Amino acid sequence: MEALEAIRKRRSVRKYTGDPIPREDLEKIVDAGRLAATGSNRQPWDFIVVTDRKMIDRLKVAAQWMEKAGAIIAVVMDPSSRWWVEDGSAAVENMLIASTALGYGSCWLEGYTLPLEEEFKKLLGVPREKRLLTLVPIGVPAEWPTKEKKPLEEVLHWEKY
Ligand SMILES: Cc1cc2nc3c(=O)[nH]c(=O)nc-3n(C[C@H](O)[C@H](O)[C@H](O)COP(=O)(O)O)c2cc1C
C-alpha cells in the first residue's frame, strides 16, 4: 500500500479476529518504528514484541479489547533523552501506519501515563530506569472503524494563523 493511502486509511482498531501474525510482518512493523526521526538521532528505544497468549492475557488488564490481538508491542524508552516522548511517539505512529499498510489493525494504548506502568515493566523485565511509553496491540481486524477528522480547510492556515 502506498504511504499516503496507509496514512489516510489508518484508524484505531480495537476488534481483532484472534488470528496470529507472521513474525516477518511483526519485524517489518518494528522496523518502521526504529526508522522514525529522533532528536539528535539518539534512537532511545527498545521494542518488546509479545505474542505469548499468557502474557497478552496479563497485559489486557489495561484494556480488555486487546484480548484477541495477535501481538502487543511495548515501546520502551530511555528518559535520559530530552525528547523521549516525541521520539517514541514518532516510532509509534510509524508502526501504526506500517500495520495498516500490511492489512492489520492497531491502536495506541497509553503506557507511561498508566497507573500500571511499573507493574508492566516488572512483567516484561524492563530495567527500572527505562519508561514504558505505550503498548501497541496489533491484530487481524474484525472491523475497521471510521472516525471523523477535522476537515483540512479548518486546520490548514497559509502564511499566518
Ligand atoms: C497519546 C495517545 C493515547 C491514546 N490512548 C488510548 C488508550 O489508552 N485507549 C484507547 O482505546 N485508545 C487510545 N488512543 C487512540 C485514540 O483514542 C484515537 O487515536 C482517537 O480516538 C482518534 O481515532 P483514530 O485513531 O481512529 O483516528 C490514544 C491515542 C493517542 C495518540
Is residue 46 exposed (0-12), middle (13-18) or buried (19+ Cβ within 10 Å)?
A: middle
Res 1 pLDDT > 90 = no
- Which atom of ligand 1 is the closest one to the Cα of 14? 11
Distance between Cα 144 and ligand 1 center (Å): 14
Residues with CB under 6 A from ligand 1: 11-12, 14, 63, 107-110, 147
- For residue 43, which phi and psi values (nearest 5 degrees)? 45, 55
Q: Contact at 8 Å (CB) between 13 and 140?
A: no
Nearest by Cα to 12 from 155, 130, 148: 148
Summarised one tens digit per residue, pLDDT across range 8-18 is 999 999 999 99
Q: What is the mean pLDDT of the chain?
A: 96
Task: Please report, for the chain, the start and end positions of each structural domain, with discontinuous segments joined by +.
Answer: 3-144
90 three-state secondary structure: helix
Percent of the chain with pLDDT over 70: 98
Question: Does the structure show a pLDDT above 80 at 31?
Answer: yes
Q: Is the domain covering 3-144 a CATH 3.40.109.10 domain?
A: yes
| Ligand 1 atom 10: residue of nearest CA | 109
Please choose from 77, 107, 144, 148 the residue to mutate so as to test ligand 1's pocket, defined by most ligand atoms within 8 A of CB.
107
Determine the distance separating the centroid of ligand 1 and the alpha carbon of 127, expressed in angstroms.
Answer: 26
Task: Name the residue at shortest CA distance from atom 14 of ligand 1.
Answer: 108
* pTM for the model: 0.97
